[in-house]
Chains A and B, each alone.
Chain A
Amino acid sequence: MAQQLLEVTDLHTQFFTRDGVVRAVDGVSFEVAAGETLGIVGESGCGKSVTALSLMRLIPVPPGKIVKGTIMFDGADVLKMDDDEVRGIRGNNIAMIFQDPMTSLNPVLTISRQISEALELHLKMDKSEARKRTIELLDLVGIPSAKKRADDYPHQFSGGMRQRVMIAMALSCNPKLILADEPTTALDVTIQAQILDLLKNLAREFRTAFILITHDLGVVAGMTQRIHVMYGGKIVEKADTGELFANPKMPYTWGLLRSIPRLDERRKAKLVPIEGLPPDLIAPPPGCRFEPRCQYRRDICREKEPELVHIPNSKPDHEARCWGTQQGGWLVDTDWHKEVGDTRIIEEIKQEVAQLPPEPKPGDVPPPPAI
Chain B
Amino acid sequence: MLRYVIRRLLLIIPTMFFVALITFSLAHLAPGNPFDKNPNRPMPQETIDRISRFYGVDQPIPVQFITYLGNILHGDLGISFTRRTPVVDVIGQGIGTTFQLGIGALAFALAFSIPLGIVSALKQNTMIDYLSMLVATIGTTIPGFVLAIFLIYIFGVNLHLLPFVGWGSWQHMVMPMFVLGLGAGGFLTRITRASMLEAIRQDYVRTARSKGLQERAVIVGHALKNALIPIATIIGPATAGLITGSFIIESLFNVPGMGRLYVISILARDYPIIMGTTLLYAFLIMIANLTVDIVYGVLDPRIKVA
Query: Interface residues, chain A, CB within 8 Å of chain B?
Result: 56, 58, 87-92, 95-96, 98, 100, 103-109, 114, 117-118, 121-122, 153, 155, 166, 169
Q: How far is the CA of A25 from the CA of B85 in the complex (A)?
A: 80
- Of B1-9, B146-154, B204-212, which binds chain A? B204-212
How close is A168's CB to chain B, nearest CB, in angstroms? 12
Known: A98-B203, A98-B206. A106 touches B212 (CB 8 A): no
Q: How far is the CA of A56 from the CA of B202 in the complex (A)?
A: 18
Number of A-B contacts (CB under 8 A): 73
How close is A187's CB to chain B, nearest CB, in angstroms? 15
Q: Give 29 CB contacts A-B under 8 Å.
A: A56-B210, A58-B206, A89-B212, A90-B210, A91-B210, A91-B212, A95-B210, A98-B203, A100-B203, A103-B202, A103-B203, A103-B204, A105-B204, A105-B207, A106-B204, A108-B225, A108-B229, A108-B300, A109-B221, A109-B222, A109-B225, A117-B208, A118-B211, A118-B212, A118-B213, A122-B212, A155-B301, A155-B302, A169-B207
Q: Does B226 lie at the interface of the complex (its beta carbon under 8 Å from any beta carbon of A)?
A: yes
| Chain B CB within 10 A, most for which of A88, A92, A106, A169 | A106
Known: A87-B212, A108-B301, A121-B213. A98 touches B225 (CB 8 A): no
**B208 contacts across to A, CB distance below 8 A:** 106, 117
Q: Does B214 lie at the interface of the complex (its beta carbon under 8 Å from any beta carbon of A)?
A: yes
Are A117 and B211 neighbours in the complex by a CB distance under 8 Å? yes
Are B203 and A169 neighbours in the complex by a CB distance under 8 Å? no
Q: How far is the CA of A3 from the CA of B207 in the complex (A)?
A: 30
**B221 contacts across to A, CB distance below 8 A:** 109
**Per a CB cutoff under 8 Å, which of A95, A108, A114, A118 touches B226?**
A108
Q: How far is the CA of A117 from the CA of B207 in the complex (A)?
A: 12
**Per a CB cutoff under 8 Å, which of A88, A114, A155 touches B212?**
A88
What size tier do the contact residues of chain B reach? 20 to 34
Known: A98-B206, A100-B203. A107 touches B211 (CB 8 A): no
**A89 contacts across to B, CB distance below 8 A:** 212
**A155 contacts across to B, CB distance below 8 A:** 301-302
Q: How far is the CA of A197 from the CA of B301 in the complex (A)?
A: 32
How close is A71's CB to chain B, nearest CB, in angstroms? 15
| Chain A CB within 10 A, most for which of B225, B226, B299, B301 | B301
**B222 contacts across to A, CB distance below 8 A:** 106, 109
| Chain B CB within 10 A, most for which of A87, A98, A108, A166 | A108
Known: A104-B203, A106-B204. A91 touches B226 (CB 8 A): no
**B226 contacts across to A, CB distance below 8 A:** 106-108
Are A153 and B207 neighbours in the complex by a CB distance under 8 Å? no
Closest to B211 in A: A91
**B214 contacts across to A, CB distance below 8 A:** 87
**Which of chain B's residues 266-304 have a Cβ closer than 8 Å to chain A?**
299-302
How close is A331's CB to chain B, nearest CB, in angstroms? 41
Q: How far is the CA of A90 from the CA of B214 in the complex (A)?
A: 11
How close is A126's CB to chain B, nearest CB, in angstroms? 17
**Per a CB cutoff under 8 Å, which of A88, A91, A153, A166 touches B301?**
A153
Q: How far is the CA of A95 from the CA of B209 in the complex (A)?
A: 11
**Per a CB cutoff under 8 Å, which of A96, A100, A103, A121 touches B210?**
A96
Q: How far is the CA of A56 from the CA of B213 in the complex (A)?
A: 13
Q: How far is the CA of A114 from the CA of B222 in the complex (A)?
A: 10
The 10 A-B residue pairs with the shortest CB-CB distance, nearest first, are: A90-B212, A91-B211, A91-B212, A103-B203, A106-B204, A153-B301, A118-B211, A87-B212, A104-B203, A96-B210
0/1 string, B188-217, CB within 8 A of A gives 1? 000000000000001110111111111000
Closest to B202 in A: A103
How close is A251's CB to chain B, nearest CB, in angstroms? 34
How close is B298's CB to chain A, nearest CB, in angstroms? 10
Q: How far is the CA of A95 from the CA of B208 in the complex (A)?
A: 11
**Per a CB cutoff under 8 Å, which of A91, A98, A107, A114 touches B300?**
A107
Known: A105-B204, A106-B204, A109-B225. A153 touches B210 (CB 8 A): no
